[in-house]
Amino acid sequence: QHKEVITMTGISFEGRVAIVTGAGGGLGRAHALDLAARGAKVVVNDLGGSIAGTGGGTAMADQVVKEITAAGGEAVANYDSVATPEGGKAVVRAALDAFGTVDVLINNAGNIRNAPFTELTPEAIESLLAVHVKGAFYVTQPAFEVMRDKGYGRIVFTSSAAGIFGSPEQANYAAAKGAVLGLANVVALEGAPHGIRVNTVLPAAGGRMAADMNPDTLVGMPTTPAHFEPEMVTALASYLASEANPYNHEAFSIARGRYARVFIGVTEGHHVPFDAPVATAEDIAAHIDRIRDQDGYHVPGSMIEEFSLIP
């Protein structure tokens, strides 16, 4: 059955070992099931706690492993928190102990604690940065070492439209998700010479998080029916995690049935000639339309590229 799907689509994970963090439910569960159905041996990591990231347990990860093995796939559960260096190492060690290597890492674990900006407690700020940002560091570092040494790897980070475009009452979440994209940008550049491709997804789909929004902040959100199945995100994650994916250092949105590349560009801008005096605030005011003009923008592949694109 699985082999048929693979032949049909050409996207196979036969012989590959994958880690999916936060795979006890929502999007992560869908990612783990799809990778396993396509032949990957999967580490199903999940702390098993609440949507706020509190508590923990083995039931969520165990359930997904059960689903995978019942369907004829191979998986092991791991219950470590991604948010500490020891936890991150233990997640990767689970893959090495059970399956001998790591080819694919999908950083998906996350928590959420929404509140108006001035009401965000230090705890709500720190716990979000711990799970999303530190978690992405601490699992990816040991996985990257394995991938670098074997000269192959695929890493998918999970950011959010909230972090890249903004979303009221989610400052802690948005800051964390923006940081994830910044991290992915560098891991992508450092991974490239080693055959490691690193990309980011910005999902909108039916995990626990999508339900946890203040309706007042969602004014203007279209209410027409649209695909909201976690599997819609999984299609993109599996593609990016596959050997077939030739892209590195990119980000993609999946929302309301639309798949699209997301990028940060730089306008052509206003140039101060080398022999002219240093600009003043008045010079900026005089040229602000040119500075903001989006015609002819660039999408630099690195900081060096940004600077070298300036004539």
Q: Which is nearer to ligand NAD, 22 or 39 (CB)?
A: 22
Should residue 111 be labelled a site residue for ligand NAD when binding is judged by CB under 6 A? yes
Binding mask 276-305 vs ligand NAD (x if CB under 6 A, - otherwise)? ------------------------------
Binding mask 223-252 vs ligand NAD (x if CB under 6 A, - otherwise)? ------------------------------
Pairing of the two strands 41-45 and 250-255: unpaired
Smallest separation, CB 128 to ligand NAD (Å): 9
Q: Which is nearer to ligand NAD, 40 or 77 (CB)?
A: 77
Residue 166, both tokens: 């903004």
Q: 190 with 207: CB under 8 angstroms?
A: no
Should residue 191 be labelled a site residue for ligand NAD when binding is judged by CB under 6 A? no
C-alpha 254/C-alpha 262 separation (Å) is 10
Residue 33, both tokens: 């099931």
Pairing of the two strands 250-255 and 258-262: antiparallel
C-alpha 149/C-alpha 138 separation (Å) is 18
The count of chain residues that interact with ligand NAD, using the rule CB under 6 A, is: 33
C-alpha 46/C-alpha 40 separation (Å) is 18
254, amino acid identity: I
Return the residue of 12, 114, 158, 172 that touches ligand NAD, per CB under 6 A.
158
Q: 198 with 216: CB under 8 angstroms?
A: no
Interacting stretch for ligand NAD, rule CB under 6 A, among 105-113, 234-242, 281-289, 297-305?
105-113
Interacting stretch for ligand NAD, rule CB under 6 A, among 64-72, 208-216, 246-254, 276-284?
208-216
Return the residue of 205, 236, 241, 254 that touches ligand NAD, per CB under 6 A.
205
Should residue 133 be labelled a site residue for ligand NAD when binding is judged by CB under 6 A? no
Catalytic residue among 173, 247, 259, 297: 173
The end-to-end CA distance of the chain, in Å, is 56
Q: 234 with 31: CB under 8 angstroms?
A: yes
Residue 178, both tokens: 């923006």
Catalytic-residue membership of 138 = no
What 3-state DSSP class applies to 229?
coil
C-alpha 146/C-alpha 140 separation (Å) is 10
Binding mask 55-94 vs ligand NAD (x if CB under 6 A, - otherwise)? -----x--------------------xxx-----------
User: What is the residue whose two structure tokens read 């040119």?
Assistant: 290
Q: Which is nearer to ligand NAD, 12 or 162 (CB)?
A: 162
Catalytic residue ranges:
173
Residues that bind ligand NAD in the complex, under the rule CB under 6 A? 21-22, 24-28, 45-49, 51, 53, 60, 81-83, 108-111, 131, 135, 158, 160, 203-205, 207-210
